[in-house]
Amino acid sequence: MKKIIFFICSCPLFFFSCSSAKEDASFQKIEYNASTRGYSTQILIQEDTLQNFKNNKEISSLILTKKMKNTLNSFLEEIDVTILDQLKASSEKHQYDGAMYTTIEIVWNGKTYKTVGFDDDNPPKKLNPFLNYLHGLIK
Protein backbone atom coordinates (compact mmCIF):
# COMPACT_ATOMS: atom_id res chain seq x y z
CA MET A 1 0.00 0.00 0.00
CA LYS A 2 2.86 2.43 0.68
CA LYS A 3 4.14 2.03 -2.86
CA ILE A 4 0.76 2.93 -4.32
CA ILE A 5 0.48 6.01 -2.12
CA PHE A 6 3.98 7.09 -3.07
CA PHE A 7 3.21 6.65 -6.75
CA ILE A 8 0.01 8.66 -6.51
CA CYS A 9 1.76 11.41 -4.55
CA SER A 10 4.70 11.63 -6.96
CA CYS A 11 2.56 12.03 -10.09
CA PRO A 12 1.42 15.61 -9.36
CA LEU A 13 5.02 16.60 -8.63
CA PHE A 14 6.14 15.12 -11.92
CA PHE A 15 3.50 17.03 -13.88
CA PHE A 16 4.31 20.21 -11.99
CA SER A 17 7.99 19.95 -12.83
CA CYS A 18 7.22 19.35 -16.51
CA SER A 19 4.99 22.41 -16.78
CA SER A 20 7.51 24.64 -15.03
CA ALA A 21 10.27 23.45 -17.38
CA LYS A 22 8.24 24.69 -20.37
CA GLU A 23 7.81 28.11 -18.73
CA ASP A 24 11.60 28.38 -18.45
CA ALA A 25 12.04 28.08 -22.24
CA SER A 26 13.18 31.52 -23.31
CA PHE A 27 15.76 33.57 -25.13
CA GLN A 28 18.90 34.85 -23.48
CA LYS A 29 19.92 36.98 -26.46
CA ILE A 30 18.43 38.21 -29.72
CA GLU A 31 20.67 39.93 -32.25
CA TYR A 32 19.33 41.42 -35.48
CA ASN A 33 21.99 42.66 -37.93
CA ALA A 34 21.37 44.32 -41.28
CA SER A 35 24.08 45.91 -43.39
CA THR A 36 25.07 47.09 -46.80
CA ARG A 37 28.00 49.14 -48.04
CA GLY A 38 28.23 52.22 -45.85
CA TYR A 39 25.28 51.51 -43.56
CA SER A 40 24.38 49.08 -40.80
CA THR A 41 21.69 48.63 -38.20
CA GLN A 42 21.63 46.34 -35.21
CA ILE A 43 19.07 45.48 -32.56
CA LEU A 44 20.53 43.70 -29.56
CA ILE A 45 18.45 42.26 -26.74
CA GLN A 46 20.18 40.83 -23.69
CA GLU A 47 18.55 40.24 -20.33
CA ASP A 48 16.03 43.09 -19.94
CA THR A 49 17.68 45.61 -22.26
CA LEU A 50 17.08 46.35 -25.92
CA GLN A 51 19.74 48.46 -27.67
CA ASN A 52 19.38 49.93 -31.14
CA PHE A 53 22.49 50.80 -33.17
CA LYS A 54 22.98 52.61 -36.47
CA ASN A 55 26.45 52.44 -38.00
CA ASN A 56 27.82 50.98 -34.75
CA LYS A 57 26.57 53.91 -32.63
CA GLU A 58 23.84 53.35 -30.06
CA ILE A 59 20.88 55.56 -30.89
CA SER A 60 18.38 54.26 -28.37
CA SER A 61 17.82 51.74 -25.62
CA LEU A 62 14.80 50.36 -23.84
CA ILE A 63 14.18 48.35 -20.70
CA LEU A 64 11.89 45.47 -21.65
CA THR A 65 8.84 44.73 -19.54
CA LYS A 66 7.91 41.18 -18.61
CA LYS A 67 5.02 41.41 -21.11
CA MET A 68 7.42 42.39 -23.94
CA LYS A 69 9.74 39.50 -23.11
CA ASN A 70 6.82 37.06 -22.96
CA THR A 71 5.59 38.31 -26.35
CA LEU A 72 9.05 37.85 -27.88
CA ASN A 73 9.25 34.34 -26.40
CA SER A 74 5.82 33.51 -27.84
CA PHE A 75 6.88 34.61 -31.33
CA LEU A 76 10.08 32.58 -31.07
CA GLU A 77 8.20 29.48 -29.91
CA GLU A 78 5.89 29.82 -32.93
CA ILE A 79 8.86 30.14 -35.29
CA ASP A 80 10.70 27.18 -33.71
CA VAL A 81 14.19 28.65 -33.40
CA THR A 82 15.80 25.24 -33.98
CA ILE A 83 14.98 25.54 -37.70
CA LEU A 84 16.13 29.15 -38.24
CA ASP A 85 18.99 28.00 -40.48
CA GLN A 86 16.51 26.16 -42.72
CA LEU A 87 14.32 29.18 -43.52
CA LYS A 88 14.77 30.22 -47.13
CA ALA A 89 15.29 33.81 -48.21
CA SER A 90 12.38 35.12 -50.30
CA SER A 91 14.65 37.17 -52.57
CA GLU A 92 18.33 37.87 -53.09
CA LYS A 93 18.61 41.61 -53.66
CA HIS A 94 21.26 41.78 -50.92
CA GLN A 95 23.65 40.04 -53.31
CA TYR A 96 23.91 43.20 -55.44
CA ASP A 97 23.26 45.89 -52.78
CA GLY A 98 19.57 46.07 -53.66
CA ALA A 99 18.73 45.43 -50.01
CA MET A 100 20.54 45.15 -46.71
CA TYR A 101 21.99 41.72 -45.90
CA THR A 102 20.26 40.62 -42.71
CA THR A 103 20.73 37.86 -40.15
CA ILE A 104 19.12 37.03 -36.83
CA GLU A 105 20.97 35.18 -34.11
CA ILE A 106 19.09 33.87 -31.10
CA VAL A 107 20.44 32.24 -27.99
CA TRP A 108 17.60 30.02 -26.79
CA ASN A 109 18.03 27.95 -23.63
CA GLY A 110 21.81 28.21 -23.92
CA LYS A 111 22.05 27.18 -27.61
CA THR A 112 22.75 29.57 -30.47
CA TYR A 113 20.60 29.55 -33.62
CA LYS A 114 21.16 31.76 -36.66
CA THR A 115 19.29 32.44 -39.88
CA VAL A 116 20.85 32.37 -43.31
CA GLY A 117 21.21 35.84 -44.82
CA PHE A 118 18.09 37.46 -46.25
CA ASP A 119 16.92 40.85 -47.58
CA ASP A 120 15.89 43.19 -44.77
CA ASP A 121 12.78 44.28 -46.69
CA ASN A 122 11.76 40.72 -47.65
CA PRO A 123 12.44 38.24 -44.82
CA PRO A 124 11.28 34.62 -44.80
CA LYS A 125 7.51 34.75 -44.27
CA LYS A 126 7.68 32.81 -41.01
CA LEU A 127 9.77 35.66 -39.49
CA ASN A 128 7.43 38.52 -40.46
CA PRO A 129 5.30 38.72 -37.28
CA PHE A 130 8.39 38.51 -35.05
CA LEU A 131 10.27 41.17 -37.05
CA ASN A 132 7.24 43.50 -37.15
CA TYR A 133 7.03 43.32 -33.35
CA LEU A 134 10.78 43.75 -32.92
CA HIS A 135 10.89 46.81 -35.20
CA GLY A 136 7.81 48.19 -33.42
CA LEU A 137 9.77 48.18 -30.15
CA ILE A 138 12.40 50.57 -31.52
CA LYS A 139 9.98 53.09 -33.04
Terminal Cα distance for the chain, rounded:
63
Q: What is the pLDDT of residues 112-138, one digit of tens each?
A: 999 999 999 999 999 999 999 999 999
Q: What percent of the chain has pLDDT over 90?
A: 71
Q: Which amino acid is at 133?
A: Y
Which domains, ranges and CATH numbers included, belong to the chain?
Answer: 25-138 (3.30.1560.10)
Q: What is the band of 96 on the pLDDT scale with cuts at 50, 70, 90?
A: confident
Predicted confidence (pLDDT) per residue in 38-59, tens digit: 899 999 999 999 999 999 999 9
At position 116, the amino acid (one-letter code) is V
Confirm if 29 and 43 have CB atoms less than 8 A apart. no
Cα(120)–Cα(102) distance, integer angstroms: 5
